[in-house]
Chain A
Amino acid sequence: MTGLVSRATRWARLLPVIAASTALMAGATHAGPVEPIRLGISGVMSGPLSVIGEDYREGAHLAVEQINAAGGVLGRPIQLFVVDNQCDPAQGINAAGNLIFAHRVAAFIGSSCSGVTLAVMPVIQRIGIVQLTVGSTNPRITEQAGRGGNIWQFRMNIDDAIMARGTSELLADEARVAAIIAPDNDFGRGAADAFRANLTSKGVRITSTELYTSGQPDFRPLLSKIKAANPEALVVVADAPDAAPMAQQFVELGMSAKIFGRGSVVSAEFVRLVRDNRIWNGAKEVNRWAPSNSRFEQDYARRYGRPPRIHAPLPYYGIHVLAEAIRLARSDERRAIRDALTQVNLTFPELGPVRFNEFHQAHPDMFITQLRDGAVVTLGRRPSLAR
């Protein structure tokens, strides 16, 4: 009998801990004098893609700080909660759950990983809360949003197909033969398919499409293969960390071809990693954002000591868009925010118009940029919505 009692006592000692954790997860709230507006952001904060998560967090934080410094929204400050989804769908569901239930956010910005975004979509639909995606590229997200069925899913980043069309137009003006290099992930394969389709329809001959694994050190084998086919132009789908060694090895091999980037080839980060302004000087890229010495960039540099990387601007603007929706709705109630988002009609001078169509897809502008002697120069700007 004593065994039973001592055993029960042992478990009883654990109960307060269990109870506290349960309460935390069941959604304990804390009230303050001015109730803040709670927003969330789910990013990849660990693992090989954590650079992207860092950008998300920094961009979003900057926006929140700016808004709060200007008096907040509806007179209330924004409180930002950042969670790690590990680029894993099941963890992503729980990360969203953490935002939704433990932190009781009114809306949140979704992950760059399409798998996570897609897994979370049924959850937000059931619960009724907005997920604003600013980086996932999978077209199924938009297919299923808005009129496609899920009225709580919104996407702010332009489709890859649209960007590929823009870049292909540029390329077709300058070359008749091209090769494509892309990473073997969601982003890369989608972009490569879009480029192939667009370029061939414009009469450009594709010598080959080469895939690489993001993070691989050596691109010389595929560059040698491309060099042998001697294309006039090269479409490089890559973020700066991959583009930099690729560019160096391109020069090493003595290659010459016009470079058209997709990702963050033409970027300050690329220049920083390559440390040589001659490499890929003149490369062009169509991107969803371009540096323009905007207030965002100045504030970012002051706050973090370096220019923003490619994944930071959209979360920043995403927070501003959510803030605008809250202003329009005059409430931070979840349903009200959703309804207001469908009415949002903003224009950011350095980004373009943000208005969500019937599939809850926004179409900010596309920027044509070029690398000139170590600086990113904006050659032009186009609306991404086809006329």
Chain B
Amino acid sequence: MRLVLEQVLNGLTTGAMYALVAAGLALTVGVLRVVNFSHGDLFMLGGYLFWALYIHLRVPYPVAALLMVPLMVLLGIVYQHVVIRPVVRRAWQVQLIATLAAATMINNGVIWLLGSTPQSTPTTLSRTIVQFLGFSMSAQRLLMLLAAPAVFVALHLFLQRSRIGQAMRAVSQNREAAEAVGIELPVMALWTFAIGTALIGIANVLVTPVYTVFPAMGLMLTLKGFAVMTVGGFGRVNGTIFAALMLGVVEALGAGYIHSGFTDAFAFIAMVLTLLLRPQGLFGRKVGI
């Protein structure tokens, strides 16, 4: 019984990472209808950025954490300008190809310029082990578990209460009507990507110290992001977050009790099952995010 609980806890931590990464993806899909193939690679870039700040430049962790968000927002704005803006009104195939191309460029650009050497960014928090209720984990992971829900709540409130958030939801529900009442799509696109990459930046700060950074890590995260978004509801932020947490738990329990070799398969089996049984995802697709 204890092992089951421990695996569930393990799963929640992985799920929290998936959720932090996938939330931005769902936002982009929900508001702009753009499936961003580079999402995972942006996370990878963020990882290297964090490494550059924290290890290479020896910036203290809290300062690095604070710097990451505006830096990632900047990255998001640049990305949006170069890749998304030219295709935001084009056919979705073109958008998909464009983001796929961008992913290839980011991935190989990093290999070309930085080489393939993996990097790690352990922090004091990740080295401190805390015990509670008989479970043991690093302080960094605990921080991830506590901060993630806070981030999600903040995101939810932002989307529900703030003017920008409401505008984003309006665009996601009906783009033409939103534009008719004066909401400008290019501004919304900018906001969406800024928030999406900010979320990635927060994920980097919380998650990167626990794992390693290497150029090829982006693809799997993007694919799992797609998987949880399919299961949770395409373009639905809350559904995606829920599905991500679920996936983490399923992967942990599956690895623990079925076979560890199939860990990656669960995401895609879940995706396929969803497509077969309930294509709109767990939380359906009422209009909007």
Contact = CB atoms under 8 A, between A and B. Distances in A.
Chains A and B touch (C-beta atoms under 8 A apart): yes
Given A240-B118, A273-B118, A274-B122, 5 more contacts: A50-B116, A51-B116, A212-B261, A217-B14, A244-B118
Given A215-B214, A241-B118, A252 B263 contact: no
A65 interface: no
Interface string A151-170: 00000000000000000000
B236 interface: no
B239 to A, nearest CB: 23
A220 B252 contact: yes
B266 to A, nearest CB: 11
Contact of A51 (B13, B117, B138, B253): B117
Interface string A215-251: 1111011101100100000000000110011001101
Given A218-B14, A221-B252, A274-B120, A252 B211 contact: no
Nearest to A255: B136
Interface SS of chain A: helix
B13 A220 contact: yes
A253 B130 CA distance: 10
The 3 A-B pairs of least Cβ separation, nearest first, read A48-B216, A211-B261, A221-B255
Given A47-B216, A222-B255, A252-B141, A54 B10 contact: no
B136 A221 contact: no
B17 A252 contact: no
B10 A46 contact: no
B264 A216 contact: yes
Contact of B7 (A47, A50, A221, A244): A221
B256 interface: yes
B136 A275 contact: no
B63 to A, nearest CB: 19
Given A51-B118, A245-B212, A252-B129, A225 B3 contact: yes
Contacts of B259: 211
B263 A221 contact: yes
Question: How many residues of A sit at the interface, in one of the four size bands?
Answer: 35 or more
B255 A54 contact: no
Interface of A: 46-48, 50-51, 53-54, 184, 210-213, 215-218, 220-222, 224-225, 228, 240-241, 244-245, 248-249, 251-254, 273-276
Nearest to B248: A218
Contacts of B210: 217, 245, 248-249
B186 interface: no
B41 interface: no
Nearest to B264: A213
B13 A213 contact: no
A186 to B, nearest CB: 14
A169 to B, nearest CB: 27
A225 B111 CA distance: 35
A224 B11 CA distance: 11
Contact of A54 (B115, B120, B253): B115
A254 B256 contact: no
Interface string B128-143: 0101000011100100
Contacts of B215: 48, 50
A217 B122 contact: no
B13 A252 contact: no
A216 B263 contact: yes
B240 to A, nearest CB: 19
Contact of B126 (A53, A241, A248, A254): A248
B211 to A, nearest CB: 4
A250 to B, nearest CB: 11
Nearest to B261: A211
Contacts of A212: 260-261, 263
A224 B260 contact: no
Contacts of A217: 14, 17, 210-212, 217
A221 B260 contact: yes
